[in-house]
Amino acid sequence: MCFLSARLVLNKHKNNVECHLIDLTNINYAQRERLAFIDFCLQFFGKISRADLVNHFKTGLASCSRDLTLYRELASDNLTLKHETKQYYRTAQFSPVFEHNPEATLNSLCRGFGDGFSNGITPSNVCIDATRLIHPSSDVIATIMRAINNRQAISCDYISLSSGETKRTIVPHSLANNGQRWHVRAYDKKNKAFRDFVCTRIQNVTAIEKPIATIQGREFDKQWNSIHNITLVPHPSITYFKAIELDYSMVDGKVELNVREALLGYLMRQWNVDCTLEGALVGEQYQLRLDNVHELQGIDSLSIAPGYGIKNYKG
């Protein structure tokens, strides 16, 4: 497991800048894990409490109090205690003690913060993951996640393919990976509707610390909250169905999934699923067919799915 042996800290006092190193080498592994969890929660959720540590690590209150005290000694400018809520909150001067790798961080946010560190491990020479060309900014993700956690809007500059750079105020409620890039699902105040925004195209993001309107919350995002059952089967052009059945762990020649309506189109496009009514698309890239496409007519997100809406496809 990778961790920082020291961290450079800059303390500004009027016109002077004072530098010193935080030494983490003398702290045992278990406590480093808990300190990293504190750092992670402050960075990505904006707050941490003793109860959070107790619930996550199943340790006693006294031990958690010592961890929070030590973290304050290491980075006193990173957090402030509000006695009325008994929680520590991230300050504007926050500077992470641990380096949180963007991809590992997103995995942690999706699957739960596992071992306390988001640096990842030394890459293997014999087990290679897919090359990733798009890497979202950790700072942008952190601001978005705090806004989601605290039900706040964010102000940002957004660069789109259709309209270029515009100033946006959005209310984020979820992050989602479409297989190629990370999106934030949010209420767009400009269009007064829920939209997807590509995280890498968001710049100059700041939180708006005001309560959001009720209709801007996730519970009012109809496309996000609608769950559809889909059935995928081998494409009819495939000669040896068994290979596809093994690839996708199919049972009785099919695999069934429950998918959010807002994400349906991304899933179909990522896996090149033939969404014509007849399963008529031609090409070796089409190994799957959406078997119950007739039940999913009129869904906006499927407009980007291969062949969706084509009635008389000739090949």
Looking up tokens 């695999």 gives 255
Neighbours of 162 (CB within 10 A): 4
**Of 39, 150, 119, which is closest to residue 52 (Cα–Cα)?**
39
Residue 152's pLDDT is: 96
Which residues 6+ apart lie within 8 Å of 315 measured at CB? Answer: 280, 282
The alpha carbon dihedral of 199, 113, 143, 14 has a sign of: negative
Residue 311's pLDDT is: 64
What is the distance between the alpha carbons of residues 238 and 211, in angstroms, rounded to a whole number? 54
**Of 111, 143, 169, 120, which is closest to residue 3 (Cα–Cα)?**
120
Taking only the tens of pLDDT, the chain with its 315 residues reads 333 434 444 343 334 334 334 567 778 888 988 999 999 999 999 999 999 999 988 889 999 999 999 999 999 999 999 999 999 999 999 999 988 777 777 777 776 655 444 444 455 666 677 788 888 999 999 999 999 999 999 999 999 999 999 999 999 999 999 989 999 999 999 999 999 999 999 999 999 999 999 999 999 999 999 999 999 999 999 999 999 999 999 999 999 999 999 999 999 999 999 999 989 999 999 999 999 999 999 999 999 999 998 764 444
Helix (H, G, I), strand (E, B) or coil at 197: strand
Looking up tokens 């190193």 gives 21
- Backbone φ, ψ for residue 122 (5° rounding): -65, 130
Helix (H, G, I), strand (E, B) or coil at 54: helix
Residue 124's pLDDT is: 60
Q: Is 97 in contact with 75 (CB distance < 8 Å)?
A: yes
Q: What's the token pair of residue 19? A: 């530098």
Q: Is 133 in contact with 152 (CB distance < 8 Å)?
A: no
- Backbone φ, ψ for residue 108 (5° rounding): -65, -40
Q: Which domains does the chain have, with CATH numbers?
A: 6-111 (1.10.10), 138-221 (2.30.30), 226-304 (no CATH)
Residue 306's pLDDT is: 96
